[in-house]
Amino acid sequence: MADNETSGAIVSALVRFSVAYVALRVVFEILAAIAGGALPGTTIIILAVSTVVARRRFYARHQRHPDNPEKIALLFGSFAIAMVAASTIVAAVALAQGYPQQSPGDVIDGILRARPIDVLIVRYLLGGVGYFLIIWISYGPLLEGFSVSTGSRNQDRGET
pLDDT of 91-112, one tens digit each? Answer: 777 677 665 666 767 767 777 7
Report which of residues 119 and 12 the model is more confident about: 12
Is residue 160 situated within a structural domain?
A: no
Q: What is the 3-state secondary structure (H, E, C) of 79-104?
A: HHHHHHHHHHHHHHHHHHHHCCCCCH
pLDDT of 39-80, one tens digit each? Answer: 888 989 999 999 989 988 888 888 887 777 888 899 999 999
* Biggest alpha carbon–alpha carbon distance for the chain: 64
The pTM for the full model equals: 0.73
Is residue 156 situated within a structural domain?
A: no
Whole-angstrom Cα distance, residue 40 to residue 108?
Answer: 26
> Does residue 153 have a pLDDT over 50?
no
Using alpha carbons, select from 43, 35, 2 the residue that is nearest to residue 133.
43
pLDDT at 74: 92
Is residue 18 situated within a structural domain?
A: yes
pLDDT at 80: 96
Helix intervals (H) in the chain: 3-35, 42-62, 68-98, 104-114, 117-138, 140-143
Is residue 28 situated within a structural domain?
A: yes
Is residue 149 situated within a structural domain?
A: no
pLDDT at 83: 93
Which residue range forms the structural domain that includes residue 7? Answer: 3-143
Is residue 107 situated within a structural domain?
A: yes
Is residue 98 situated within a structural domain?
A: yes
Q: What is the mean pLDDT of residues 116-121?
A: 76
Mean pLDDT across the chain, nearest whole number? 79
The count of domains in the chain is 1
Is residue 150 situated within a structural domain?
A: no
